[in-house]
Structure 1
Amino acid sequence: MGFEGNNCTTLIFTYGTLKRGFSNHVLLQDLMRTGDAVFKGTYQTVHNYPLVCGPYRVPFLLNMPGSGHRVTGELYAVSARGLDRVDELEGTSKGHYERRPILLMAGGNGNEEEEEEVAAEAYYAHKNFEKEMWMKNGGKGFRAYSEKEARGYVKRKDRPQNLSFLDHVNIFISSPSASA
């Protein structure tokens, strides 16, 4: 099966639950098995972006370049079919996330002069709530969604089913801040 992955033309940057070791990575594993995704490596954003947690410790990258940190994540090449599956998971048609361009560089190993920039796409929090999400997080983000940030993450199937994800986002944003 030497042809595997040659239809994987869209590069997507994963920074949260789609990464290896996190709950939604099963989707990418499934896509890799069918030749609809190829792991390209660990990458870091060229520019600073806020990476924050929303309700249920769900991670959000905010399309606010210049704030936050350079974010580390994983790069995958996906096929059109794979992209449809990831878009569905990320709720792009429901106003949860927006898939937009991002500039990356490999590894973040300190050799920035030699690093080549890679244009990819990332799933940002929908613009309808990104500024509120940034304020709710106290204008603080993190460099990577690690096990520490993911502690307390609640899988979709374990969340109250009577509310939509956007309902959860709105409740999170409008609730009084609790000390984390």
Structure 2
Amino acid sequence: MAFENDCCTTLIFTYGTLKQGFSNHVLLQDLMRSGDAVFKGTYQTVENYPLVCGPYRVPFLLNMPGSGHRVTGELYSVSTRGLSRVDELEGTSKGHYERRPILLIPSGDGNKEEEEDQVVLTCAAEAYYAHKSFEKEMWMKNGRKGFRIYSEKEAKGYVKRKDRPQNLSFLEHISIFISSPSA
């Protein structure tokens, strides 16, 4: 396909609601249909990172390498136009997420014998991390515990943006979440 080499130049690592089977994947499906995104496979972070949930079970990757677990997600190559649409969804201009570099490796199928025979190449991509203004508080609020993968279990209770109270901004919802007493 010509468009893959011509315009899909940025690799983004998705670990939450943009993955296949989750509510925001419709955006990536649209981008793939228009030639603005290409699915590259399932990947895992080289380093450990905290993956936690915030208000409304929204997933956040925290830019705190060495904490948490190696996180599994999906890798997409996107065009400049596609990237601006994903940035908009992720609220990068509103202080929700920051798009920053991350190192990945292909996620194996668990066959250790086969994996030992293969040379595993690291892949530089970008991921949407929780904005640094609240990442430490989000880690503390989650009891300094994260998970390896955002699955149906972690997504249980996720509330779509359109179904959340509209009288507050998402940053206000985050502030209330991290300052409220833990259950």
Band of TM-score, shorter chain: over 0.9
Counterpart of 1:141 in structure 2 is 146
CA distance in 1, matches of 2:48, 2:165: 34
User: CA-atom RMSD, angstroms?
Assistant: 1.0
Counterpart of 1:34 in structure 2 is 34
Deviation at 1:107, TM superposition (A): 1.4
Report the residue type matching 1:28 in the other structure: L
Deviation at 1:3, TM superposition (A): 2.0
CA distance in 2, matches of 1:5, 1:166: 35
Question: Is 1:176 aligned to residue 177 of structure 2?
Answer: no
Any idea what SS the aligned residue of 1:56 has? helix
Deviation at 1:4, TM superposition (A): 3.0
Counterpart of 1:15 in structure 2 is 15
Higher mean C-alpha displacement, 88-97 vs 101-110 = 101-110
Deviation at 1:5, TM superposition (A): 2.3
CA distance in 1, matches of 2:123, 2:154: 26
Deviation at 1:77, TM superposition (A): 0.1
TM-score by length of 2: 0.95
CA distance in 2, matches of 1:108, 1:121: 20
Deviating beyond 6 angstroms after TM superposition, the runs of 4 or more aligned structure 1 residues are: none
CA distance in 2, matches of 1:103, 1:156: 29
Q: How does 1:115-130 map to 2 (within 5 A)?
A: 115-130=120-135
Counterpart of 1:153 in structure 2 is 158
Report the residue type matching 1:120 in the other structure: A
CA distance in 2, matches of 1:13, 1:38: 12
Mind listing any 5+ residue stretches in structure 2 that lack a counterpart?
none
Any idea what SS the aligned residue of 2:128 has? strand
Question: Is 1:76 aligned to residue 76 of structure 2?
Answer: yes
Deviation at 1:114, TM superposition (A): 2.0
Identity fraction in percent: 83
CA distance in 1, matches of 2:181, 2:18: 29
Any idea what SS the aligned residue of 2:70 has? coil
Deviation at 1:132, TM superposition (A): 0.1
Counterpart of 2:3 in structure 1 is 4
Counterpart of 2:119 in structure 1 is 114
Counterpart of 2:98 in structure 1 is 98
CA deviation vs aligned residue, 1:1-35 (integer Å, no higher than 9, x gap): x3232210000000000000000000000000000
CA deviation vs aligned residue, 1:124-171 (integer Å, no higher than 9, x gap): 000000000000000000000000000000000000001000000000
Mind listing any 5+ residue stretches in structure 1 that lack a counterpart?
none
